[in-house]
């Protein structure tokens, strides 16, 4: 086999997304079937390598052992927050003025609140006090909801349904007097459901054509469980579970870290403010939603595990395809938030 043939064989067995190389084409095919590479993955703006998460892309560009050529270019023309590359240092400087978001200053939090929401998404943040013998049982004692413009549409202290044994004041700033005349748990639950479903009945809002909102937050399942609220998974945007924002497929980044790394400011310093958490989650969601990804001709349905088209094709048909052609029909195994700009996923 001559050098040209060896080079062709190497390219034949090289993943066009993550650039891994395999000894045999069938090994590459197995990789492509299980990797779910797609246009929605974080991608290096220099070498075009696909990464599973922004943490992986960050390691590729500015980690302890970065790709040297990419690191060199990124150091002069790359944004440390969104990880995009720009044509010149001057263009980068103009971009940084928009990309680095100032810390949100919480307005006066009026207990109760209300009003119309702007945009299709709302963000919710809760603060928990402790119950049980050792104070480790989480009890929702304060909740805040904002709209896409960071306006407060609801804020309330919540009267606990079981005795509080640890107010966790150093983090929550909550004392017994804050909860003495707080809204009953059932009342808070009902009001939040009204906001989530735009005043409609749950049944009508969940049916096709209903007006239920996208709910944004960090650790939403835990917050909803503490509030006794069941909400459709296809309408939740959780920054703790969104694959591009996670450490690995099993480990989440904290909201504090994500805000510092991808928005450029600190939160949760001292007593934690639920409004600040709401704003951080909403800003992360909007940043991910604004990703300029190419929208595929057909979209995979929203599901926790999407069937890759490569797994449904006949082996003899796949053997005729180039790696680039396989990448073209490969689909993501998660719902990319950029698709919210096009339309909401069906229940």
Q: Across all residues in the chain, what is the average pLDDT?
A: 87
Indicate whether 336 belongs to any domain.
Answer: no
Other Cβ atoms within 10 Å of 318 Cβ, number: 18
- Higher pLDDT residue, 105 or 281? 281
CA dihedral 316, 321, 323, 329 (to 10 degrees): -90
If pLDDT is split at 50, 70 and 90, which confidence band does 310 have?
A: confident
Indicate whether 64 belongs to any domain.
Answer: no
pLDDT of residue 287: 96
Complete DSSP assignment for 177-246: HHHHTPEEHHHHHHHHHHHHTTTS-HHHHHSTT--PPEEEESSHHHHHHHHT----GGGEEETTT-GGGS
- Tens of pLDDT, residues 44-57: 999 999 999 999 99
Indicate whether 344 belongs to any domain.
Answer: no
Phi, psi (degrees; rounded to nearest 5) at 157: -80, 155
Q: How many domains does the chain have?
A: 1
Q: 336: exposed, middle or buried (C-beta count within 10 Å: 0-12, 13-18, 19+)?
A: buried
* CATH number of the domain encompassing residue 138: 3.30.420.10
pLDDT of residue 114: 52
If pLDDT is split at 50, 70 and 90, which confidence band does 303 have?
A: very low
Whether the CB-CB separation of 282 and 145 falls below 8 Å is answered with no
- Tens of pLDDT, residues 217-274: 999 999 999 999 999 999 999 999 999 999 988 899 999 999 999 999 999 988 889 9
Nearest C-alpha neighbor of 228 from the set 172, 181, 182, 186: 186
Indicate whether 347 belongs to any domain.
Answer: no
pLDDT of residue 80: 95
If pLDDT is split at 50, 70 and 90, which confidence band does 12 have?
A: confident
Res 344 pLDDT > 70 = no
pLDDT of residue 314: 84
pLDDT of residue 252: 95
Indicate whether 29 belongs to any domain.
Answer: no
Least confident of 4-8, 34-38, 126-130, 196-200: 4-8
pLDDT of residue 113: 54
Indicate whether 345 belongs to any domain.
Answer: no
Enumerate residues 6+ apart whose C-beta is below 8 A from 22. 13, 14, 15, 28, 31
Other Cβ atoms within 10 Å of 301 Cβ, number: 10
Parent domain of 200: 121-289
Whether the CB-CB separation of 337 and 54 falls below 8 Å is answered with no
Indicate whether 16 belongs to any domain.
Answer: no
Other Cβ atoms within 10 Å of 110 Cβ, number: 11
Indicate whether 95 belongs to any domain.
Answer: no
The whole-number average pLDDT for the span 307-334 is 85
């Amino acid at each position: 086999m001559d050098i040209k043939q060896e080079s062709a064989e190497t390219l034949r067995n090289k993943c066009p997304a993550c650039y891994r190389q395999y000894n045999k084409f069938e090994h590459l095919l197995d990789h492509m079937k299980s990797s779910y590479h797609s246009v929605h993955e974080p991608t290096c703006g220099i070498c075009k390598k696909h990464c599973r998460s922004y943490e992986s892309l960050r390691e590729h560009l500015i980690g302890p052992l970065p790709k040297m050529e990419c690191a060199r270019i990124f150091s002069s023309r790359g944004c440390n927050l969104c990880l995009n590359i720009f044509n010149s240092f001057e263009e980068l400087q103009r971009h940084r003025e928009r990309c680095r978001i100032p810390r949100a200053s919480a307005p006066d939090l009026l207990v109760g609140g209300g009003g119309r929401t702007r945009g299709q998404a709302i963000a919710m943040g809760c603060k928990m006090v402790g119950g049980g013998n050792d104070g480790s049982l989480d009890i929702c004692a304060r909740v805040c909801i904002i709209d896409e413009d960071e306006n407060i549409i609801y804020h309330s202290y919540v009267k606990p349904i079981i005795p509080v044994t640890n107010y966790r004041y150093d983090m929550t700033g909550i004392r017994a007097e804050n909860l003495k005349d707080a809204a009953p748990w059932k009342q808070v639950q009902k009001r939040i459901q009204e906001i989530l479903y735009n005043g409609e009945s749950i049944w009508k809002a969940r049916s096709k054509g209903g007006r239920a909102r996208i709910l944004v937050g960090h650790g939403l399942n835990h917050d909803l469980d503490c509030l006794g609220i069941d909400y459709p998974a296809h309408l939740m945007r959780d920054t703790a579970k969104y694959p591009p924002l996670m450490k690995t497929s099993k480990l989440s980044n904290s909201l504090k870290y994500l805000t510092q790394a991808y928005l450029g400011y600190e939160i949760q310093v001292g007593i934690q403010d639920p409004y600040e958490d709401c704003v951080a989650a909403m800003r992360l969601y909007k940043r991910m939603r604004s990703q300029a990804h190419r929208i595929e001709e057909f979209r995979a349905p929203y599901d926790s595990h999407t069937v890759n088209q490569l797994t449904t094709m006949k082996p003899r048909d796949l053997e005729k395809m180039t790696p680039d052609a396989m990448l073209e029909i490969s689909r993501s195994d998660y719902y990319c938030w950029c698709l919210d700009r096009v339309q909401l996923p069906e229940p």
